[in-house]
Structure 1
Amino acid sequence: MRYYLRLRLHLLLRLLRELGWWRLLLLSTMLLLVLGRALLLAAASQQLVWLVPLGMGALVLSLHRHRADIGFLQLSAPLFRRWLAVEYALLSLPVVLVLLGRSRVLAALLVPIVAAAAAWAPAVNASAARKPARSLFRSVAFEWVSVGRRWWLGAGWLLLLAVAVATRTTATGPALAVVSWLFLLL
């Protein structure tokens, strides 16, 4: 287990080097704020608190099914599913602590059990994971990097931003600027 946790730490450090610490900090802060607010709202309600174990289970299951190291773990450790169950239960501890702080004991006990159960789910086929699903929108439309490749997109964005600012007193001008920007990108 110690070697596995060391491997996970090296993977996290590699991601930190590749993404950069400031991007990772910005993205994780925004994600934690949104998820934390949703968790606090759900924990305050008698009925919504039962969505927390389901949501945590769905999140862990989604992350587990798309892991790239399942084949490696099968070869290196025959009892790897127990390790994954412990890892997933430990990752769910902040949610458990929030639920215990709101006196939701049964839901708090259910969260690590559901998270650990995701370790026994099968992984997605490698061939199915490699084929991306067809999308209605081109991926280039949502890349801010494409502005650097096409200078006229940057100039068009500045022009549309100026139009939106100039017509901000009405709702029509900014709405047309946004729609024009989408058409420009598509």
Structure 2
Amino acid sequence: MPLFDLSKIPKQQRIILAVLVGIILIVLVNNRLFKPITSERKELRLKYQNLETELERKRIELKEAQAKTEAERIVSLEERYRHTQKKLEYLKGRLPKEKQIPTLLSQIASQTRLEYNLIKILPEESRLVYKEIPIQIQLKGRYQDLGEYLKGLEESTRLIKIKSLSIKTDPKDPPKLDVVLEIATYIVK
């Protein structure tokens, strides 16, 4: 014996009852199955939006950090450039003009008692910003005078490099030395 006898209920009410049961089932299924999924989906969408916002913020921070690093690098390079320019100006001041080379050597020699046998300017070697001018010098004099001459070259305000030095005793005059010296000086192009 059933709790309700559906055959006794009029057809119109049975339809309404079926519709109501259907609606109740839909509401229950929706509340039990779909609402949690929808709610979870909303939470995931919110998390996704938060992560996108965080990602964009991190991208901006990264760009700012890169810009700051690049700016610091530029400042450092500019400082190095200024320092290099000052150094270049200083070195340019120490480089003789081409016309000054014989005068420079004569000044140094006049301060000592050496005799010049030969001053020969060899072919120049061109560099990026300057020219190297090798000069071969043959001198005659005493050992002490040679030391003063070399000291004069070293203390010169101009850049002079001693490339080679050959010292032999003069067989005709033993206290004197025959000296062959190759130096290099530099001029700005």
The TM-score normalised by the length of structure 1 is 0.21
Q: Larger % of helix: which?
A: 1
Larger radius of gyration: 2
The TM-score normalised by the length of structure 2 is 0.20
Q: Larger % of strand: which?
A: 2
